[in-house]
Amino acid sequence: MRYLRFALLIGLVAVLIAACGEADDDPIADLEDEDDVAEDPDDDPDDPEDPDDPDDDEDDAAPDDVDPEDPDTIPEDAVEIFSWWTGAGEEAGLLALIEMFEEQHPEYEVVNSAVAGGAGVDAQAVLTSRMQAGDPPSTFQIHAGRALLDQWVEVDAMQPLNFLYDEEGWWDVFPDTLLEMTTDEDGNIYSVPVNVHRSNVMWTNPEVFEEAGVEVPTDFDEFFSAAEAIEEAGYTPLALGDNETWTLLHTWETVLLATAGPDMYNDLFAGDADWTSDEVVESFEVLGEMFEYVNDDHAARNWQEASQLLAEGDAAMNIMGDWAGGYFWVDLELELEDEFGWAPTPGTDGNFITVVDTFGLPEDAPNEEGVVDWLRILGSQEGQDTFNPLKGSIPARLDADEGEYNAYGQDTMDDFQSDELVPSVAHNSAAPPDFTDDALGVLEVFMSERDPEVAVQDLEAAAESFLR
């Protein structure tokens, strides 16, 4: 039945794509505004590139004679590496990995099938079409957690990699939480994590805080007190860009972690806790109050444009994953600590919301031997320390060389090893796609109506349908 539901869903997606020219019903596609996906930032040199959700030029994605949408253009024995890493930092990291792979394995022909499109929208549509047609790429990028397990493992589309973890000794170098996010109920593991992003980061502008005469807040009482002072000083307390709906869900998940704590947070998404509980109600009450301190044009901005408010000294704080850090220090060339700072989002110190990129081995993958050698590179200390400083993320391994990373990376690596790790719902790791879709709708309605009781009742209904 699971495969039938999968097949019917894909058939519907294919029809809608053919009829409308856009992705539908894809859980990742729903996280990105359609107009934003259609934009090509290369048409405007001032348009920022997204380190985690790129909208870069298609010409950078693959050679002219290779079309990731048409498997017939891929050489039969090539190792085809499928991703949506086409932006500056992430593309540089991917190309560095490919160069390392080619140096160590000149016997393989490598095809970089990177598909441009925000949040992997276009890539996911192409991947889904190819998997359904029985033409999988050799390997593909997928977030750890429910994105991997629900979309591909449950329909028997992936091969277990226990043998590779045994051979490489990886069971001891990746944290248990990441292993669980890539492992099914039978103990089979299906992908190799190459990096870790942190969702619950609050970026700060030190000069604005100094002008307002307040300290960076660590809890919500301090946050609202600081917000009042910052507003009185003539600045926007919290920069927000929510023309991409996922940013609302992203912000809320950090607040929920603070009000519920990591154990209840996990229980909620496992279907083992009540979504109408006081802790969840409080998360929406706090979120509604936070929204009173955001920029007036929040609905017209994407996350990069919200980050620009902070970078330009117009806003004091911005809640966004650490791909924003890569945007600050790579794209905008800001000085870490002098021109921008960071802290855990209020109330979440000691906790870490993970967003993990992984690659696996599909069933009937072309050149399986080459894929396994590619995965060895991804899981190696050398590979992760080559890729992540360019990507702006930190390595998934616990034994990486901290000397390869800047102050933010080193601080985050320490937190990653000591904090409680929980998965992100906004980035398709904590919950099934159907629940995430409903949660996005709940946040959209809440943004306009600000009714916590309605929000939690709607989430409880979604949990009953999709989590229990």
Q: Is-above-0.75 flag for pTM?
A: yes
The secondary structure of residue 48, as a DSSP letter, is: P
- 72-195+356-423 and 201-354+426-467 agree in CATH topology: yes
Cβ neighbors of 107 (< 8 A, separation 6 or more) are none
pLDDT for res 119: 58
For the stretch 355-383, pLDDT in tens is 999 999 999 999 999 999 999 999 999 99
Q: Which tokens go with 345? A: 């989002």
Per-residue pLDDT band for 329 (boundaries 50, 70, 90) equals: confident
Q: Which tokens go with 454? A: 């309605």
Contact call for residues 320 and 264 (beta carbons, < 8 A): no
pLDDT averaged over the chain?
86
Residue for token pair 């920029």? 295
What backbone torsions phi and psi does residue 358 show, to the nearest 5 degrees?
-140, 165
Per-residue pLDDT band for 132 (boundaries 50, 70, 90) equals: very high
For the stretch 170-191, pLDDT in tens is 999 998 989 999 999 999 999 9
pLDDT for res 118: 54
Instruction: Inform me whether the pLDDT recorded for 241 exceeds 50.
Output: yes
Pairwise CA distance, residues 316 & 205, whole Å: 5
> 201-354+426-467, superfamily in CATH?
Periplasmic binding protein-like II (3.40.190.10)
Contact call for residues 196 and 397 (beta carbons, < 8 A): no
pLDDT for res 121: 62
For the stretch 247-292, pLDDT in tens is 999 999 999 999 999 999 999 999 999 999 999 999 999 999 999 9
End-to-end Cα, the chain, rounded Å: 17
Domain parsing of the chain, residue ranges? 72-195+356-423, 201-354+426-467
- pLDDT average, residue stretch 41-67: 45
Contact call for residues 147 and 28 (beta carbons, < 8 A): yes
Alpha carbon 431 to chain centroid, angstroms: 14
Contact call for residues 319 and 237 (beta carbons, < 8 A): no
Tell me what percent of the residues of the chain surpass a pLDDT of 90: 70
Pairwise CA distance, residues 14 & 132, whole Å: 10
* Half-sphere exposure for 298 (CA within 13 Å, toward CB): 21
For the stretch 91-122, pLDDT in tens is 888 999 999 999 999 999 999 999 975 556 67
> 72-195+356-423, superfamily in CATH?
Periplasmic binding protein-like II (3.40.190.10)
Alpha carbon 250 to chain centroid, angstroms: 10
